């Protein structure tokens, strides 16, 4: 029974990885595509490579924080917790994608795991004690970093670029930023791998550990094999290539009409915030970081530089992510336990 349950859960994890590539990973390349520096196909290929490198080279601190959100022990019920959390991500993300709204699959994952843990009766401690609140503290720290610091850093980067290039002819500046933005977009894709790539690969490895395939360390930590990194990176890249353009359009065209120097500024700002958070093992939202960085860049031109109606729609989706995914994770766990 556990073997069948493990297969189902692994499929659900890969589905959430695919959806992350479909709805979240496009944030990493939205600016470089919207400014027409790179074609969507070339940007996706670049993102796949640098996403994988980000996972490979930056350790597993973020992955370990995510896998320790809920105190679970190996067995059928633990697999139900992980599977239910993945299903909550898929349902929520696809619904938001339908309306072209970029959501945070990181927060959907955390909320889904928490709701699933609260529904389980065979975790280390039942109820609210099933949740590792120390890990949640890092989540809220990351929420502040991704929302506030991304916005401020984006504004300052755009302001600094305008200051430094104020005497440069626009044609020469555009030529420079066309090349520079390829580098900054690669840095953004690398940063996405250090955050979202780690999170979902960590969950895949956790499912293997709960199924007895990999050793489970203290506090729910687990090593991530290279083949898991490669598999999840490939699935994420396929997801981005299939459905990413709708999110790219919302982020880089509808919310703020980006020029090349603005795309460069947003990518640099978001990358700095993401990499800094990764070093300290703080899980942050790639979506929140990149979106608020773009807002800050747009605001550098004044309040009319940002379409605030679209911003309000995004904020509403971000606020709803936690309660909706927590509830879906809770209900799906109850359903899985009743069926299996």
pLDDT tens, residue by residue, 5-47: 788 889 998 998 888 777 766 666 777 777 788 887 788 788 7
pLDDT band at 115 (very low <50, low <70, confident <90, very high): confident
Q: Which of 8-12, 52-56, 236-240, 258-262 has the highest mean pLDDT?
A: 8-12
Q: Which two tokens stand for residue 62?
A: 């973020």
Torsion of CA 268, 273, 275, 279, to 10 degrees: 160
Reported as a pLDDT band with limits 50, 70 and 90, residue 159 is: very high
- The pTM for the full model equals 0.76
The domain locations on the chain are: 2-339
Question: How far apart, in whole angstroms, are the C-alpha atoms of residue 309 and residue 229?
Answer: 38
3-state secondary structure the chain: CHHHHHHHHHHHHHHHHHHHHHHCCHHHHHHHHHCCCCCHHHHHHHHHHHHHHHHHHCCCHHHHHHHCCECCCCCHHHHHHHHHHHHHHHHHHHHHHHCCCCCCHHHHHHHHHHHHHHHCCCCCCCHHHHECHHHHHHHHHHHHHHHHHHHHHHHHHHHHHHHHCCCCCHHHHHHHHHHHHHHHHHHHHHHHHHHHHHHHHHHHHHHHHHCCCCCCCHHHCCCCCHHHHHHHHHHHHHHHHHHCHHHHHHHHHHCCCCCHHHHHHHHHHHHHHHHHHHHCCCCCCHHHHHHHHHHHHHHCCCHHHCCHHHHHHHHHHHHHHHHHHHHHHHHHHHHHHHHC
CA angle 322, 240, 63 (to 5 degrees): 50
CA distance 240 to 43: 10
CA–CA gap between residue 217 and residue 236 (Å, rounded) = 26
- Could you count the other beta carbons within 10 Å of the beta carbon of residue 1? 8
Q: What is the pLDDT of residue 248?
A: 63
pLDDT tens digits for range 134-155: 667 777 777 777 778 888 998 9
For the segment 309-328, what is each residue's pLDDT rounded down to a tens digit? Answer: 777 877 787 788 888 888 98
Q: Is 303 left (phi over 0), alpha (psi -120 to 50) or beta?
A: alpha
Summarize the confidence of residues 219-242 as an average pLDDT.
78
Average pLDDT in the chain = 78
Is residue 77 within 8 A of residue 121, CB to CB? The reply is yes
- How wide is the angle at C-alpha 211 spanned by C-alphas 129 and 2, nearest 5°? 100
User: How much is the CA Rg of the chain, to the nearest whole Å?
Assistant: 19
209, pLDDT greater than 50: yes
Kindly state the percentage of the chain with pLDDT values over 90.
3
Contact 293, 153 (CB under 8 A): yes
Whole-number pLDDT of residue 125: 43
The terminus-to-terminus CA distance of the chain in angstroms comes to 8
């Amino acid at each position: 029974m556990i073997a069948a349950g493990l297969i189902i859960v692994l499929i659900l994890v890969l589905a959430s990885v695919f959806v992350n590539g479909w709805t979240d990973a496009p944030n990493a390349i939205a600016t470089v595509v919207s400014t027409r520096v790179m074609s969507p196909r070339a940007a996706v290929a670049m993102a796949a490579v640098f996403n994988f490198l980000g996972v490979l080279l930056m350790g597993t601190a973020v992955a370990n924080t995510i896998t320790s959100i809920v105190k679970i022990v190996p067995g059928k019920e633990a697999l139900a917790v992980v599977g239910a959390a993945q299903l909550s991500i898929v349902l929520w993300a696809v619904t938001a994608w339908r309306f072209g709204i970029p959501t945070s699959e990181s927060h959907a994952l955390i909320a889904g795991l928490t709701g699933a843990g609260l529904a389980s009766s065979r975790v280390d401690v039942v109820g609210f004690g099933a949740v590792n609140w120390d890990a949640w503290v890092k989540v809220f720290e990351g929420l502040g970093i991704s929302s506030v610091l991304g916005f401020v850093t984006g504004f300052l980067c755009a302001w600094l670029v305008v200051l430094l290039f104020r005497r440069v002819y626009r044609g020469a500046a555009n030529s420079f930023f066309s090349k520079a933005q390829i580098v900054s977009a690669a840095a953004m894709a690398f940063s996405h791998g250090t955050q979202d790539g780690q999170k979902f690969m960590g969950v895949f490895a956790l499912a293997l550990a709960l199924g007895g395939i990999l050793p489970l360390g203290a506090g729910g930590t687990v090593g991530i094999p290279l083949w898991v990194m490669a598999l999840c990176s490939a699935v994420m890249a396929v997801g981005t290539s299939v459905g990413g353009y709708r999110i790219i359009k919302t982020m880089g065209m509808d919310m703020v009409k980006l020029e090349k120097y603005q795309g460069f500024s947003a990518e640099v700002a978001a990358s700095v915030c993401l990499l800094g958070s990764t070093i300290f093992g703080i899980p942050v939202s790639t979506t929140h970081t990149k979106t608020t960085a773009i807002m800050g860049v747009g605001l550098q031109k004044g309040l009319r530089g940002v379409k605030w109606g679209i911003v309000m729609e995004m904020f509403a989706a971000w606020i709803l992510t936690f309660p909706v995914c927590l509830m879906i994770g809770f209900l799906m766990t109850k359903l899985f336990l009743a069926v299996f």
